[in-house]
Amino acid sequence: MSHTLGITFSESATGSIGELTDKISVVMGEDGRMNQLTRKANTLMRGGLKRLAESEAWEKLSEGDAVIFELPERMQASALQVIKCPVSPSVELARKIGAKIASFANGEKISVLLAAQSRAAEMVYGLVLRDYAFDRHKSKPKSRAEAAMVMVNQPADIEARFAPMAAVAQGVHFTRDLVNEPANVLTTTEFANRLEALEKLGVEVEVLEEAELEKLGMGSLLCVGFGSESPSKVVVMQWQGGGDEAPFALVGKGVVFDTGGISLKPAAGMEDMTMDMGGAGVVSGVMQALALRKAKANVVGVVGLVENMPDGKATRPGDVVTSMKGDTIEVINTDAEGRLVLADVLWYTQERFSPTGMINLATLTGAVMVALGHENAGVFSNDDALCDAFLRAAKAEGEGAWRLPLAKAYDKLIDTRMADMKNTGGRMAGSITAAQFLQRFVKDDTPWIHLDIAGVASPGPTPLSPKGATGWGVRALDRLIRDKFEA
């Protein structure tokens, strides 16, 4: 798995700055205000930073932008980055400044001199989130620094504040690793194996194989994988960090590759369908983060792992299948497979765990990208309180999310004479009819959110992630659980 950058916090020490051989990053106010570490660097450079602060170039910089000095005078550092930063930056700006530091470091060793900066922990969080590279399949991957050194005035306090952020960053990186993996590596079996490894962190993991899924009556999920050599699976992850209360549930679509099945997708861009397990990837990352930070909550994560391939045994358009709930579904389009997976996993999760609430995530529809682009996930919910709490968490974490409607008027688009429902309502309101389909498998007394993350799972780069998988949702869901469900 990808390595998450380690952080060494140390006491501010001006006497050592000239001897640091790493790259160095410092912050300076728009008016030239310097902390004691930046002042020392300025002294070593014979007033070079003061002259910068008085220059027109510095005045034109936006907050969070930087100037780089190569081989700074009277210092051993290879380069010095000076970032324009207010005394009390917002959380969003602090994280973006951390990401700017990561881009400057570019995998090399770096010392970050923050002294008494009020958002030091958030800056380091941004640094760790952005310091990510998925290059394990290159013959000569670039070597990367194992850790960064951060000088602050109260290192023990900052380290304590950063510790839960570090756990979440590891969860984000775990999600990115899963979503970035090619499908010949991340098969359903390999995915399940990686989740079983979470047992080392205290997560209880159970893998349900095809024979058990058949006994449970999961005809909707199983029909998606009929054309694949990879066995369909459901993985149940339980984190018991709370009391005796029922758990909160996270449910994820895990289609490790989606050809569209018999309703075959066009060849152009099909390679991107390695990310169609993004919902299951986010659920997995959240479960790892909760375990690493020892969250005081009971949470269950359930993911359906399948592969959608064309084959002589594959499900055909026009076939009718029976879900675990007992409802029958006419499969109009085998490329609308994610909802077939989620239907059974949602019902199973409610039947087994009676959760206090439930959120499912899926790279479900292209329609949500037409509506919201890559800036926001589509949010659908039957419960205003839970939805509002999630939207607050997403906003606080800077993860775009926008609520879209559910209404009975859309149900007629998925009615069919052949069965209780069909699996697609056509082009009109495509993301909404998919959500209406899923809602039929949610009990009336279960607070529920459906997150369509097709546009946000893998657009990269973003301010906090490089090109490829973003890990969107891990931070927002962790915050929701922390704010709403932890004792």
Block mean pLDDT (10 aa), the chain, length 487: 89 95 96 96 97 96 97 96 96 98 97 96 98 94 94 97 98 98 98 98 98 98 98 98 97 98 97 98 98 98 99 98 98 98 99 98 98 97 98 98 97 97 96 98 98 94 95 98 90
Task: Please give the full DSSP string across 317-331, using - where no structure is assigned.
Answer: TT-EEE-TTS-EEE-
Phi-psi region of 74 (alpha: psi -120 to 50; beta: other; left: phi over 0): left
Confidence (pTM): 0.97
For residue 422, give the H/E element and its range: strand 421-422
Among the listed residues 84, 176, 339, 422, the single catalytic one is 339
* pLDDT score, position 312: 97
Among the listed residues 109, 194, 265, 392, the single catalytic one is 265
**Is 136 an active-site residue?**
no
Cα distances (Å, whole numbers) of residue 265 to 184, 232, 271 = 18, 21, 11
The tokens for 403 are 């609520």
Contact (CB, 8 A) for 224 and 319? no
* pLDDT score, position 117: 94
Q: Which domains does the chain have, with CATH numbers?
A: 6-153 (3.40.220.10), 170-484 (3.40.630.10)
**Is 467 an active-site residue?**
no
Q: Which residues contact 119 (CB under 8 A, 6 or more apart)?
A: 88, 89, 91, 93, 94
Contact (CB, 8 A) for 271 and 382? no
Task: Please give the full DSSP string across 378-406, using - where no structure is assigned.
Answer: EEEES-HHHHHHHHHHHHHTT--EEE---
* pLDDT score, position 3: 80
Q: Which residues contact 408 (CB under 8 A, 6 or more apart)?
A: none
**Collapsed DSSP state (helix, strand, coil) of residue 158:** helix
* pLDDT score, position 460: 74
